């Protein structure tokens, strides 16, 4: 008898941390939905990597910051896959637009908060009911050191990630009895496209471990939280920052 297909959705799955999580999900037997907003080529590369890893999946284009667009994309997928349940959601999509608050334009505030915090709501809410009915689900939110301690020049990013941290703790309490866990991972500096503009050599001096994190290390932690071994862990924010902030 063939095992039923397990489905996982990773937002911002085309590059960086999202891509690494997609690859590891594929190796663990998940059919992976790779969400992206604009870079179809990179999303396709992730899908090729998923297939090379022995798994399968598809790309799913929508902007997590746009509620109606996100809801329509998810509903259309569910219509095409009757009876399928997306049991794992990794809310990874996020953008930076760093500047001091006194210079921050409204668009810089709203785009970052709408993507990071609004995206969590827009993606998670329409998928919750199926998880609760199935009595199983894993929600992993990729947040940031910025959301825990705040970083100057990142008031918008810190607000978005801090909001998701608070939402993680609240939602975890709402759904725990139904076998759904909700956790957050708070990386420090990770070597990805998003941090390519930072002075790595200078920043490494502040990190006790003496290096940036690799995206694969974040993905390994995500996979543990998704696994059955973490079924009693929920509402947690787990830092992975090389000792930068404890």
- In tens, the pLDDT along 116-161 reads 999 999 999 999 999 999 999 999 999 999 999 999 999 999 999 9
pTM of the model as a whole: 0.95
- What is the per-residue pLDDT for 2? 56
The beta strand positions in the chain, using DSSP E, are 6-10, 30-36, 56-61, 86-91, 137-142, 180-187, 190-191, 213-214, 237-240
Catalytic residues: 157
Q: Model confidence at 66, in pLDDT bands (50, 70, 90)?
A: very high
Query: Which residues have C-beta within 8 Å of that of residue 131, sequence separation ≥ 6?
Result: 85, 87, 137, 175, 178, 180
Contact 184, 164 (CB under 8 A): yes
- What is the per-residue pLDDT for 4? 67
The CATH number assigned to the domain with range 5-238 reads: 3.40.50.720
Q: Model confidence at 246, in pLDDT bands (50, 70, 90)?
A: low
The C-alpha atoms of residue 57 and residue 72 are separated, in whole angstroms, by 19
């Amino acid at each position: 008898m063939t095992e039923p297909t397990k489905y996982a959705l990773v937002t911002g799955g085309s590059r960086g941390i999202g891509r690494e999580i997609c690859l590891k999900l594929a190796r663990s037997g998940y059919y992976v939905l790779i969400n992206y907003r604009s870079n179809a080529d990179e999303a396709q590369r992730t899908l090729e990597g998923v297939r090379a890893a022995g798994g399968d999946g598809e790309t799913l284009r929508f902007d997590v910051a746009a509620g109606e667009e996100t809801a329509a994309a998810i509903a259309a997928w569910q219509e095409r896959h009757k009876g399928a349940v997306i049991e794992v959601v990794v809310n990874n999509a996020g953008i930076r637009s760093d500047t001091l608050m006194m210079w921050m334009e409204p668009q810089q505030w709203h785009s970052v908060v709408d993507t990071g915090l609004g995206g969590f709501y827009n993606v998670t809410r329409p998928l919750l009911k199926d998880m609760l009915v199935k009595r199983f689900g894993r929600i992993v939110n990729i947040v940031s050191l910025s959301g825990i301690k705040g970083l100057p020049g990142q008031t918008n990013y810190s607000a978005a990630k801090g909001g998701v941290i608070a939402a993680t703790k609240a939602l975890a309490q709402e759904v725990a009895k139904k076998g759904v866990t909700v956790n957050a991972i708070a990386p420090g500096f990770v070597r990805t496209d998003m941090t390519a503009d930072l002075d790595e050599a200078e920043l490494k001096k502040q990190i006790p471990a003496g290096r940036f994190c690799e995206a694969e290390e974040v993905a390994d932690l995500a996979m543990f939280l998704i696994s059955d071994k973490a079924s009693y862990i929920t509402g947690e924010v787990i830092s992975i920052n090389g000792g930068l902030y404890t």
